Chain A
C-alpha cells in the first residue's frame, strides 16, 4: 500500500485557463475527500465521494469547480476559468469503510498568475 497519491504536485497556470488534478486513494478505501488549503490556514472541506457517488459539496465549490470519481477509484478535480483566488494547495484524503481515520495525499499546489 503506497498511500494516497496526487498528480501533479505543482501546477502554474494563467488566469482563465482550465486545470485538472488527479487523486488516487488508498486501495479499497471507499470514501474520498477533497480539501483546499490557503497560506496560513487549515484545510477546508470541498467535496466528498462514497464510492462513485458525490454526496456533499461545500459552498466553497463554485460552479467553476467539478469533481468526479468514475468507478469509485481515482478522482479528478477540475477548475474552469481559473482565477487568482484559486491559488492554494488542493489536498485529497481517503478513508476506509470501517476506518474512520482520513489519510492525506501530498497535495497539488496551484499557482494562478
Chain B
C-alpha cells in the first residue's frame, strides 16, 4: 500500500516563529488532507488539498502532486498551535476512500 512519511517528527517553536512541516507519499493520490490533533484527541480538519495551494489565516498548505509531497506552513505560531499534525492520503488503487496517515509531527509552541 501507499506509504506516508512526515518530517520532522518533533518540533519545538518559540511563540511567533514560523515553521514548515513536510509530508512525502510514495505514489499518486486522489485526496490529501492535513489535520491538527488537539490534546483531547480530536482531529480537526485543516486542509483538503490534493494539489495546489490554499491559505487559511496563519496556516497555508501546498501540494505538488507530481513530486509526491505536501507542505504545511505555520506562521506567527501561537501556543494554541501545539499538538500533532497529521497528513493523510487516499490511495486511488485501493477500494473505498480510506485514508492512510503519516506518523505525525508533534509541535510544541513555547510562550
Q: Name A residues whose Cβ lies closer than 8 Å to a Cβ of B.
A: 31, 33, 35, 37, 41-45, 48, 50, 55-56, 89, 91, 93, 95, 100-104, 106-107, 109
Most buried by B among A42, A56, A102: A42
Min CB gap A16→B, angstroms: 26
- Given known A-B contacts A42-B103, A100-B30, A104-B35, A33 and B98 have beta carbons under 8 A apart: yes
Q: Nearest A residue to B9 by beta-carbon distance?
A: A40
List chain B residues, Cβ under 8 A from A91: 43
How many A-B pairs fall under 8 Å by CB? 61
Whether the pair B40, A106 counts as a contact (CB closer than 8 A) is yes
A-B contact pairs, 13 of them (CB 8 A): A42-B104, A43-B43, A48-B97, A56-B95, A93-B99, A100-B31, A101-B31, A102-B33, A103-B45, A104-B42, A106-B41, A107-B41, A107-B42
- Given known A-B contacts A55-B96, A100-B31, A104-B42, A43 and B48 have beta carbons under 8 A apart: no
Q: Nearest B residue to A33 by beta-carbon distance?
A: B98
List chain B residues, Cβ under 8 A from A33: 97-99
Q: Name B residues whose Cβ lies closer than 8 Å to a Cβ of A.
A: 4, 30-31, 33, 35, 40-43, 45, 48, 86, 88, 90, 95-104
The 8 Å CB contact of A42, one of B40, B42, B88, B98, is B88
The 8 Å CB contact of A100, one of B4, B35, B48, is B48
The 8 Å CB contact of A45, one of B33, B86, B100, is B100
The 8 Å CB contact of B45, one of A41, A45, A50, A101, is A101
Min CB gap B23→A, angstroms: 11
Bound Cα distance from A47 to B3, whole angstroms: 19
Q: Nearest B residue to A106 by beta-carbon distance?
A: B42
Min CB gap A7→B, angstroms: 15
List chain B residues, Cβ under 8 A from A44: 101
Min CB gap A98→B, angstroms: 12
List chain B residues, Cβ under 8 A from A100: 30-31, 48, 90, 97
Please name the 9 residue pairs, one residue from A and one from B, whose CB atoms are nearest each other, closest first: A42-B101, A104-B43, A101-B48, A45-B98, A48-B96, A107-B41, A56-B96, A106-B42, A100-B31
